[in-house]
Structure 1
């Protein structure tokens, strides 16, 4: 095979890139921010109301010598989401990496819940936060990524997209919607240097989404323990450093699902 047909591989370091991480005050968001900062990535950290948590994280990350700033926004409000992105661009520049990690669970139905227990306002807000903001921020970030011929987009999904989960249909369906967005973006922009992938965690300890782990939960995990936010962050690092990997959903679940989700 000729070199022109085979193509060439030139690794692109992430040091010096700017990453926008939504939901950075949560366990997985914080772990990813710490890993990125250690790799020399500048950071725009989104949060909603957890001022003390995000302020402490910003101070912690500055020791790595990277630029880091926090931005508050209600991602259910699309105008607020647009305004946040505008502030990031004005203060730090255009994001090279977008990690849409923020999520809203809303009401938790559990295994005995009823579909009628989710009212439409709750359903719509969950979709706006989990799927709508992820789409909107992708829409806002891609033009610059396309112009420079480089971009990394990662969505935080869930294995609830394959199993329905225990939170409820509002949450599972909003996360499943991310997969459709991801597949379309990846195929449309892959030849322009932009990759788009998703990580699908399950039963990750030390997160807001999984506050009350039990022995019964642990028994669902083949490796016999809960995952840690740092392990999800390592998958995100893989997805932003590998330029040949796109249009993929990578589960991080201790073996609960035997392959990537469709």
Structure 2
């Protein structure tokens, strides 16, 4: 008889940017499959949302959840955040590194002079640097367990240039190179690494009110839904043979992979 036990049951998943649309949807799916969840939120104004999510997730049998506030534009704050997660819930088996910022929104017709080197560097630190640091912190425990999952949220902008600006597109592209190296280095230790690259997802801060010029880029004729991204993330977490991949979810905007 086949083993019907869910491979994810009992695992601890750390989700950054967890109070946004994609983060919340993904936390719910993981909890439904028996995972405990470390909830990260950035702004103190999101505290109530984080604790409402805890109340919801812990309705699932055996699921623990706790919320942690941290500014993940800071390496020191990221280290302190990770230490708090380990202290309160234990070491994560799964990292869904989902936080990010846009930086200046200059659009595809913007002037590169409108993005300062300081703004460029800050966007990279948040969108790539602290993702690297979280992976660096999580991997030793995953190696001990001979099992681990690292999943980054990128963007279709990494392959197209996007509609925000060069700092955003390039910082997201950096996650792809990071993922490829991590996967090739650690897959024999039972650790997979992948990227999900969405485009234009509704119920998120970035796409709270997109203009028709943006909507019209999606051949499927609508924005994506957070649940649709969550299903990809949980697939990547549960499939031990899928690694070193960028999964693009963009309603048909781009052709092929990148």
State the TM-score bracket (shorter-chain normalisation).
over 0.9
Q: Which runs of 4+ in 1 moved over 4 A?
A: 9-12
Distance 2:181 2:10 in 1: 28
Which runs of no fewer than 5 residues in structure 2 stay unpaired?
none
Q: 1:259 matched to which residue of 2? A: 256
2:234 maps to 1:234: no
2:173 maps to 1:176: yes
Of 35, 43, 47, the residue aligned with 1:41 is: 35
Distance 1:260 1:47 in 2: 31
Query: What CA deviation, in whole Å up to 9, does each residue of 1:202-237 have, x standing for no partner?
Result: 011110111222333222111111100110011101
Of 13, 25, 47, the residue aligned with 1:31 is: 25
| Contact 1:74–1:81 (CA under 8 A) maintained in structure 2 | yes
Distance 2:25 2:167 in 1: 26
Deviates more, 1:195-204 or 1:104-113: 104-113
Which runs of no fewer than 5 residues in structure 1 stay unpaired?
1-8
Distance 2:152 2:161 in 1: 18
Distance 2:243 2:227 in 1: 22
Q: 1:205 matched to which residue of 2? A: 202
- Output the TM-score relative to the length of structure 2: 0.95
Of 3, 11, 18, the residue aligned with 2:12 is: 18
Of 192, 198, 215, the residue aligned with 1:195 is: 192
Distance 1:224 1:199 in 2: 21
- The alpha carbon displacement at 1:14 in A equals 0.2
| Contact 1:152–1:195 (CA under 8 A) maintained in structure 2 | yes
Distance 2:148 2:20 in 1: 24
Q: 1:51 matched to which residue of 2? A: 47
Q: Helix, strand or coil for the counterpart of 2:205?
A: coil
Q: Helix, strand or coil for the counterpart of 2:14?
A: strand
- Output the TM-score relative to the length of structure 1: 0.94
- The alpha carbon displacement at 1:250 in A equals 0.3
| Contact 1:248–1:260 (CA under 8 A) maintained in structure 2 | no
Once superposed, what is the RMSD of the aligned Cα atoms? 1.4
| Contact 1:204–1:210 (CA under 8 A) maintained in structure 2 | yes
Distance 1:237 1:183 in 2: 19
Q: 1:64 matched to which residue of 2? A: 60
Distance 2:214 2:174 in 1: 26
